[in-house]
Amino acid sequence: MTELADRHLILGLTGGIACYKMAEYIRRAREQGATIDVIMTEAAGHFITATTLQALSGRPVWTSQWDERPGNAMAHINLARQADAILVAPATANFIAHQTQGLADDLLNTLCVARGHCPLLVAPAMNREMWLHPATQRNIAQLGADGVTILGPASGEQACGETGDGRMLEAHELLDATITFFQPKRLAGRHVLITAGPTMEAMDPVRVLTNRSSGKMGYALARAAQQAGARVSLVSGPTALPTPAGVQRTDVESAREMHAAVMARVKDADIFIGVAAVADWCILEPAREKLKKDASGTPPEIRFGPNPDILAEVAALPDAPYCMGFAAETDDLYAHAHAKRLRKKVPLLVGNLAQEAMNANDTRLVVFSDGPVREFARMPKMAAARALIDVLADAFAGASATSRRS
């Protein structure tokens, strides 16, 4: 999946040691389909070479406002008019101050002043004292007021040996922020609560009863919802997946722990998405010590009891959020998923075949609702998550409009 396909970016580098991170950014962004024109200030050339950036971007690097390649000597105009966005990373305190005042004394600053309607994203990078200086804070606030998107900075160890705010985001974080910037904010201002991953039910201190869910679909939906502008709370069973940027994650293990975490957070949720593969049963009396195999080899007797039905319970709340559930079936998908939606009384239910989806990177989904069944072709789970967020946003907007009219 190329998440920046057909996007034309201008990448501006100013004089900071964090320039080295942008080599990785360019490589990753091109893998996602982006076309990148690089503009370097003179100071940036002290930290990374134009030759390196040209080799990675596959395009000539721009360093002078007097460059004659455009023919009309107006690179600052031509480049901005061709781009979907401008990202300046690293952005030094000096560059930020220049932009606040509209100063245009080199190609990058001039282009940013002359950018017209082209969006500007800025990733600050500087010593912690420079970042905390009142002038820098005033300038950052002014850029934000002017409509510039500020990415970071992070806190951490800095090249000077000090630790604190001012460290530029890493390449993968900047790439994710770039992708997020271009996503329609269809869930802006909404709180989305999502469950993901498997649950584990203890048999003894060593063994658990679990399932094959990887959590990939739930995490993709959390990322897609966050990129659509939502505040996302993710309640996750055990997985090895990294937390999507901007998502608040709560780790749980058993179905009962997941139930408690969901019920503690659902009160202010606008939308609930139950993706987790929650165990239907728990082991009633887990052994306190490891179960041993005796000489006869007789297996232990295990008694099961029902776990709470998280999706159905959330959907039945007096002020329930808009609910979307999942059904992973192994056969007769349409009949089982349709019956599950009616039984749990949710407006949307997404069905798939477990043997095709679990631990896979792609999936084929079917959406069940009061309207016609919608089938999606097999696609990467991130693409599927974006498609589902569009379906969900439409359905949520329709339900909200109906509620207002009534």
Angle between helices 216-227 and 171-182 (to 10 degrees): 60
Predicted local distance difference test score (pLDDT) of residue 157: 85
Q: Is the pLDDT of residue 357 over 90?
A: no
Predicted local distance difference test score (pLDDT) of residue 75: 65
198, 135: one domain: no
Predicted local distance difference test score (pLDDT) of residue 295: 76
CATH classification of the domain holding 273: 3.40.50.10300
The burial class, CB within 10 Å (0-12 / 13-18 / 19+), for 341 is buried
Confirm whether 222 is domain-assigned.
yes
Of 153, 182, 211, at which residue does a domain stop? 182
Confirm whether 205 is domain-assigned.
yes
Q: State which amino acid sits at residue 320.
A: A
How far, in Å, CA of 260 to CA of 235, rounded?
A: 10
Q: What is the mean pLDDT of residues 232-241?
A: 97
* Mean pLDDT comparison of 75-79, 155-159, 235-239, highest-scoring range: 235-239
Confidence class for position 38, pLDDT limits 50, 70, 90: very high
Q: What are the pLDDT digits (tens) for 176-204?
A: 999 999 999 999 999 999 999 999 999 99
Confirm whether 2 is domain-assigned.
no
Chain center to CA of 66: 40
Confirm whether 376 is domain-assigned.
yes
Predicted local distance difference test score (pLDDT) of residue 74: 67
355, 207: one domain: yes
Predicted local distance difference test score (pLDDT) of residue 325: 96
Q: Is the pLDDT of residue 66 over 90?
A: no
CA torsion 70-75-80-82 (nearest 10°) is 10
Annotation says 118 is catalytic: no
298, 397: one domain: yes
* Percent of the residues in the chain that have a pLDDT greater than 70, as a whole number: 96
173, 197: one domain: no
Q: Is the pLDDT of residue 61 over 80?
A: yes
**Active-site annotation holder among 118, 160, 282, 323:** 160
Confirm whether 3 is domain-assigned.
no
Of 135, 153, 182, at which residue does a domain stop? 182
Range of the domain at 263: 191-405
CATH classification of the domain holding 14: 3.40.50.1950
Q: Is the pLDDT of residue 82 over 70?
A: yes
Confirm whether 108 is domain-assigned.
yes
* Percent of the residues in the chain that have a pLDDT greater than 90, as a whole number: 81
Q: Residue 306: how many CA atoms within 13 Å on its side-chain side?
A: 3
Q: Is the pLDDT of residue 403 over 70?
A: no
Number of Cβ within a 10 Å radius of residue 230: 26
229, 373: one domain: yes
Confirm whether 1 is domain-assigned.
no
Residue 124 pairs with which residues in a beta bridge?
Answer: 91
Predicted local distance difference test score (pLDDT) of residue 401: 65
How far, in Å, CA of 261 to CA of 313, rounded?
A: 13
Q: State which amino acid sits at residue 384.
A: A
38, 144: one domain: yes
Q: What is the mean pLDDT of residues 237-264?
A: 96
Q: What are the pLDDT digits (tens) for 206-230?
A: 999 999 999 999 999 999 999 999 9
Confidence class for position 404, pLDDT limits 50, 70, 90: low
Phi, psi (degrees; rounded to nearest 5) at 8: -110, 115
178, 237: one domain: no
Q: Are 97 and 141 in contact (CB under 8 A)?
A: no
Q: What is the mean pLDDT of residues 50-60?
A: 96
Confidence class for position 122, pLDDT limits 50, 70, 90: very high
What is the domain count for the chain?
2
83, 169: one domain: yes
Of 182, 211, 235, at which residue does a domain stop? 182
Predicted local distance difference test score (pLDDT) of residue 399: 83
Q: Among 4-13, 199-208, 288-297, which stretch is predicted with the lowest mean pLDDT?
A: 288-297
338, 219: one domain: yes
**Selected residue with higher pLDDT from 68 and 10:** 10
90, 225: one domain: no
